[in-house]
A and B are shown apart, each in its own frame.
Chain A
Amino acid sequence: MIDIIQTYWLYFLVGQFPNGPLGGLALTVLLAALSLTLALPAGIALGLARVSPFRAIRWPITGLVYLVRGVPLLMVIFWAYFFLPTITGVKTEQFSTMLMALVAFNAVYLAEIVRAGIVGVARGQFESARALGLGWWRAMRWVVLPQALRSMLPSLVNQFASTIKDTSLGYIIGLTEVSFIAAQINTQVFTHATQVYLLLALTYFTLCYSLSRVAYVLEKRLNRRTAAPARVPLSIEPTTNPAA
């Protein structure tokens, strides 16, 4: 395995850059980060729409959310990659296709995270802001959303990890992200398929596991002051001292 790493590490990390477009792990992370950043404003807007007091806003957005969540991401990618060029006449290349699909998908999932965050802020906060005379939008903007976004941070980090995994679907349309690169390496190394794919798995694991740990730490920090009733502990260990 070591010689595979030694020979192909650069290709694995950045693809053919600078002699070609960016690829590999760098592309994976860039795509994930960019799509999440672009999706965030839309996600907040959709999340607010989901809690809007106006049915005319709430219902269509709720319908949209159920629609997008009922369809596989790959389907959305295929629509963008095969169908869109037939009506726009422009052949979209892999990166922008993946980006569009991921932004659309993430906006909807972020909307749910935002909604949960808003709902999680105590009702009294919104009420006391309204009691001061602040309108619905201002009460949201200055009192509820800041608190909601703070509590959402762990979920956002987890969503980032999820998006990194979702970028792997670019493999199917030939995007040179890290899974595709791994398959390319495999065709050259041929008899060490197990090792190559284990390496790929290890890469994703390191990235996503670290992110989930960050999310965990964030969550612990946020919950520091809330005292929850005793639940089933992480392990059922004897609590009495057997020697006593």
Chain B
Amino acid sequence: MPHFDLSLVLHGQYNDWLLTGLRLSLELAGTTFALALPLALVVALLRLSPNLALRTLGAAYVEGIRNVPLIAHLLFWYFGAPELLPDDLKQRLYARNAEFICATIALTLYTASFMAEDIRSGIRAIPVVQIEAGRALGFGFLQTMRRVVLPQALRVTVPPLISQTLNLWKNTSIATVIGVAEMMYEAARVETATFRSAESFAFVTAAYLGVSLVITGLGVWYHRRYPVRTA
């Protein structure tokens, strides 16, 4: 059995590869989060709208996206969608970081569909009398949401959203399938170059775990600091 030599991945070239991968994973996760959260809010409000057409649109988005695995989304946006673009846009896409862009799009749409459901549940957890009170004061639908419901819903929604963020962080690993040079891609690359899977995977596992623990810790802190207060 080959001996376990962690220094292989802690210094030198392979370490650089893995760290670059880690940085890209974090960038992918961060960019996606920044885009997915507002999108999720919009979709959640669509699903709660008094307008039937908007409600159906929201529901179609959520059900259509989240019932399809992330790999299928990635394959579609990287191999399928660019075919539909006019030629000059396609050239510009491939000139830049096509893999990262397509991965971000796929991941954003996917993550937003789950986050939208969590936000919707959070809003629905607020007793209906709150909305009635807001409407009785004369606020419209959006205003009632903004001033009365959402501030209360926020505390309830944060724990599941932290959970989704955790999932997002883990899902960045799947972007490897379309060639994004994130951490998992680099781990496989180091393994191919050195035939030593244990060290490379141990590093990457520790990295994923580390960030996961930070995210979970954030959730625990938030829950302690801002507990849910009901009437």
A and B touch in the complex (CB under 8 A): yes
Q: A207 — nearest CB in chain B belongs to which residue?
A: B67
A197 interface neighbour in B72, B173, B191, Cβ under 8 Å: B72
Query: B22 near A: Cβ within 8 Å?
Result: no
Q: B171 — nearest CB in chain A belongs to which residue?
A: A72
Q: A204 — nearest CB in chain B belongs to which residue?
A: B68
Q: How far is the CA of A161 from the CA of B67 in the complex (A)?
A: 8
A71 interface neighbour in B72, B188, B208, Cβ under 8 Å: B208
Residues of A contacting B71 with CB < 8 Å? 168-169, 171-172, 179
Query: A222 near B: Cβ within 8 Å?
Result: no
A158, chain B: closest CB distance, angstroms: 11
Residues of A contacting B226 with CB < 8 Å? none
Query: A235 near B: Cβ within 8 Å?
Result: yes
Which residues of A, 181-208, contact B by the 8 Å Cβ criterion? 182-183, 186, 191, 193-194, 196-198, 200-201, 204-205, 207-208
Which residues of A, 157-172, contact B by the 8 Å Cβ criterion? 161, 164-166, 168-169, 171-172
A209, chain B: closest CB distance, angstroms: 5
Bin the interface of chain A by size.
Answer: 35 or more
A75 interface neighbour in B48, B126, B166, B204, Cβ under 8 Å: B204
Contact indicator B173/A74 (Cβ below 8 Å): yes
Contact indicator B1/A86 (Cβ below 8 Å): yes
Contact indicator B184/A75 (Cβ below 8 Å): yes
Contact indicator A82/B191 (Cβ below 8 Å): yes
Contact indicator B83/A165 (Cβ below 8 Å): no
Contact indicator A78/B81 (Cβ below 8 Å): no
Q: Tell which of A7-15, A96-104, A224-232 binds the partner.
A: A224-232
Query: B34 near A: Cβ within 8 Å?
Result: no
Residues of B contacting A238 with CB < 8 Å? 50
B28, chain A: closest CB distance, angstroms: 13
Contact indicator B216/A83 (Cβ below 8 Å): no
B214, chain A: closest CB distance, angstroms: 10
Contact indicator B124/A231 (Cβ below 8 Å): yes
Q: A195 — nearest CB in chain B belongs to which residue?
A: B80
Query: A21 near B: Cβ within 8 Å?
Result: no
Query: B95 near A: Cβ within 8 Å?
Result: no
A87, chain B: closest CB distance, angstroms: 6
Query: A212 near B: Cβ within 8 Å?
Result: yes
Contact indicator A78/B184 (Cβ below 8 Å): yes
Number of residues on chain B facing chain A (CB within 8 A): 55
Query: A156 near B: Cβ within 8 Å?
Result: no
Which residues of B, 33-79, contact A by the 8 Å Cβ criterion? 48-50, 52, 55, 63-64, 67-73, 75-76, 79
Query: B84 near A: Cβ within 8 Å?
Result: yes
Whether A200 touches B75, Cβ cut-off 8 Å, given contacts A70-B212, A73-B170, is: yes
Query: A79 near B: Cβ within 8 Å?
Result: yes
Residues of B contacting A75 with CB < 8 Å? 173, 184, 201, 204-205, 208
Query: A56 near B: Cβ within 8 Å?
Result: no
- In the complex, per-residue mask of B125-154: 1 if CB is within 8 Å of any chain A CB, else 0: 111111100000000010000000100000
Residues of A contacting B126 with CB < 8 Å? 231-232
Residues of A contacting B174 with CB < 8 Å? 72, 74, 169
Residues of A contacting B52 with CB < 8 Å? 235
Contact indicator A179/B213 (Cβ below 8 Å): no
Q: B81 — nearest CB in chain A belongs to which residue?
A: A194
Query: A132 near B: Cβ within 8 Å?
Result: no
Contact indicator B79/A208 (Cβ below 8 Å): no
Contact indicator B67/A193 (Cβ below 8 Å): no
Query: B218 near A: Cβ within 8 Å?
Result: no
Q: How far is the CA of A157 from the CA of B204 in the complex (A)?
A: 32
B198, chain A: closest CB distance, angstroms: 6
Query: B113 near A: Cβ within 8 Å?
Result: no
Query: B89 near A: Cβ within 8 Å?
Result: no
B68 interface neighbour in A194, A196, A205, Cβ under 8 Å: A205
Q: How far is the CA of A208 from the CA of B67 in the complex (A)?
A: 5
Contact indicator B69/A168 (Cβ below 8 Å): yes
The 8 closest A-B pairs by CB, nearest first: A70-B212, A165-B69, A208-B67, A72-B170, A168-B69, A197-B76, A72-B173, A82-B197
A-B contact pairs, 10 of them (CB 8 A): A74-B173, A75-B184, A79-B205, A168-B69, A172-B177, A201-B72, A205-B68, A208-B67, A232-B123, A234-B48
Given contacts A168-B70, A198-B76, 10 further A-B pairs with CB under 8 A are A70-B212, A74-B173, A74-B176, A82-B191, A82-B197, A165-B69, A179-B69, A179-B71, A212-B67, A235-B55
